[in-house]
Amino acid sequence: MATPDDDEVKKGVSRREVIASTGVGMLSASLLSTVPAVASGALPERSAHSLEVPNGALLPWKKTAGAKVFHLVAEEVEHEFMPGLKAKCWGYNGRVHGPVIEAVEGDRVRIYVTNKLPAATTVHWHGAIVPNGMDGVGGLTQKSILPGETYRYEFELKQHGTLMYHSHHDEMTQMAMGLTGLFVIHPRAPQSRVDRDFALLLHEWKVVPGTERPDPNEMTDFNLLTMNGKAFPGTAPLVIERGQKVRIRLGNLSAMDHHPIHIHGHRFWVTQTDGGVIPQSGQWPESTVLVPTGSTRTIEFVADNDGDWPFHCHMTHHVMNQMGHGIPNMMGVEPHGLDAKAMPLLPGYMTMGQAGMGEMAHMQNMPVPPNSVSIVMAKGKHDFITMGGMFTVIKVRQGLKSYEDPGWYENPKGTLATYATEAELQRDGIKVG
């Protein structure tokens, strides 16, 4: 039975099909961007079901025999975390993480899972209220899916919210290798409408510099922290027209860490967990939300402050890339260019400079081991940005023509921190010694 909700979702798919028919590749779901084609001169229309997945994709579906039919293929994927850093991970449909499954409360979904991995696997629908035999736990609720086999999962969606899916067979290995994704179920009768609806999955990895696969045995020392599989500066900015009501769905399938995700220039309300909607009377304003591992948190806010605003994990080691971890403390010691000499010989070697990491910006072009990236550093408008990892930028603007990256924010006169002049110091009685 068609409902307005169904129609809206189908519209989303047909829009992607339009993109596909113009040359992106009809069946190659993994290549299809979730950002719709932008008509010149007008921002694309949004509905309650226009989920946006920065750096990611939605899983296509078709309606057959009374169900929405999806097909996940678990396989090895060469994944780029950021320019200069790739690894052989495990993902779904050619992607890390898997494409987002998007459906509507009340839908019957039939999800085929094909295993093209060299190991057995299963898929668990995290947070979903399903019959026990559809829960996807290898050995306990089903036989594991052997390499080459395809299994069918089928169930009715009895709830709405931001859920996830992931391997539940040899979880330590398979989730560390990337077999994870988001599962978003829209309400059949939405109570709260937003202009923009983003989905971000948080993850952590250990990729030893110079190696080509994540290390699934790591317990504590993760050196790549990602949003939708990308470490900054590989993360796409979230481009928002001023005044839009924004929802960001955050899921965390990191092995060992919670992530306190912090916004600048705004505050938000935490509106949902993977258990469902929080009643309005139970919501409170925050600028940081802790997303525990194995859970989702959904935040909503009005983007009412123009600028380029960081949106990032507040654990300082989670906004560093590969080489910011597990190194000797050289604070106060002058390394005399030791790094430049040692790094090509000793993968992963880096001393900490006499005044910390920020000074390493000038080493951008320093030789590093193959397939590794310097600790931090992306060029910003004013200087190097001394952050990497679980970090992206929310760009709020007025008068956007499209949701493409609008470039750096132009600060209105008198609203930029600048070098204090002698006259200013004297006027205000500030003595700097």
Interaction site with Cu ion (CB under 5 A): 259, 313, 315, 318
Q: Which of residues 74 and 202 has its CB atom nearest to Cu ion in the complex?
A: 202
Rounded Cα distance, 23 and 35, in Å: 16
Nearest approach, Cβ of 252 to Cu ion (angstroms)?
9
Phi, psi (5° rounding) for residue 90? -110, 135
Burial of 407 (0-12, 13-18, 19+ CB in 10 A): exposed
Q: Which of residues 107 and 204 has its CB atom nearest to Cu ion in the complex?
A: 204
Short-list 99, 43, 330, 369, CA closest to 223: 369
Short-list 99, 266, 103, CA closest to 180: 99
Q: Are 166 and 29 in contact (CB under 8 A)?
A: no
Short-list 127, 389, 89, 167, CA closest to 259: 389
Q: Which of residues 315 and 361 has its CB atom nearest to Cu ion in the complex?
A: 315
Strand partners, 114: 73, 150
- AA letter at 277: V
Rounded Cα distance, 227 and 235, in Å: 7
Q: Which of residues 169 and 259 has its CB atom nearest to Cu ion in the complex?
A: 259
Q: Which of residues 318 and 397 has its CB atom nearest to Cu ion in the complex?
A: 318
What are the Cα distances from residue 267, in Å, to 122, 238, 270, 336? Answer: 39, 16, 10, 44
What are the Cα distances from residue 396, in Å, to 5, 43, 47, 158, 340? Answer: 29, 14, 20, 36, 39
Nearest approach, Cβ of 142 to Cu ion (angstroms)?
33
Dig out the tokens for 209 from the structure. 């510099």
Q: Which of residues 305 and 316 has its CB atom nearest to Cu ion in the complex?
A: 316
Nearest approach, Cβ of 213 to Cu ion (angstroms)?
22
Short-list 109, 41, 108, CA closest to 72: 109
Rounded Cα distance, 166 and 342, in Å: 40
Nearest approach, Cβ of 202 to Cu ion (angstroms)?
7
Nearest approach, Cβ of 324 to Cu ion (angstroms)?
13
* Chain centroid offset of residue 233 CA: 12
- AA letter at 161: G
Q: Which of residues 79 and 259 has its CB atom nearest to Cu ion in the complex?
A: 259
Nearest approach, Cβ of 222 to Cu ion (angstroms)?
9
Nearest approach, Cβ of 313 to Cu ion (angstroms)?
3
What are the Cα distances from residue 230, in Å, to 205, 214, 240, 395? Answer: 11, 14, 20, 18
The CA dihedral of 12, 18, 23, 27, to the nearest 10 degrees, is 60
Q: Which of residues 186 and 259 has its CB atom nearest to Cu ion in the complex?
A: 259
Nearest approach, Cβ of 125 to Cu ion (angstroms)?
25
Rounded Cα distance, 327 and 157, in Å: 48
Q: Which of residues 170 and 204 has its CB atom nearest to Cu ion in the complex?
A: 204
Nearest approach, Cβ of 226 to Cu ion (angstroms)?
10
Nearest approach, Cβ of 352 to Cu ion (angstroms)?
21
Nearest approach, Cβ of 345 to Cu ion (angstroms)?
32
Q: Which of residues 250 and 360 has its CB atom nearest to Cu ion in the complex?
A: 250
- The CB density around residue 156, as the number of other CB atoms within 10 Å, is 13
Q: Which of residues 93 and 252 has its CB atom nearest to Cu ion in the complex?
A: 252
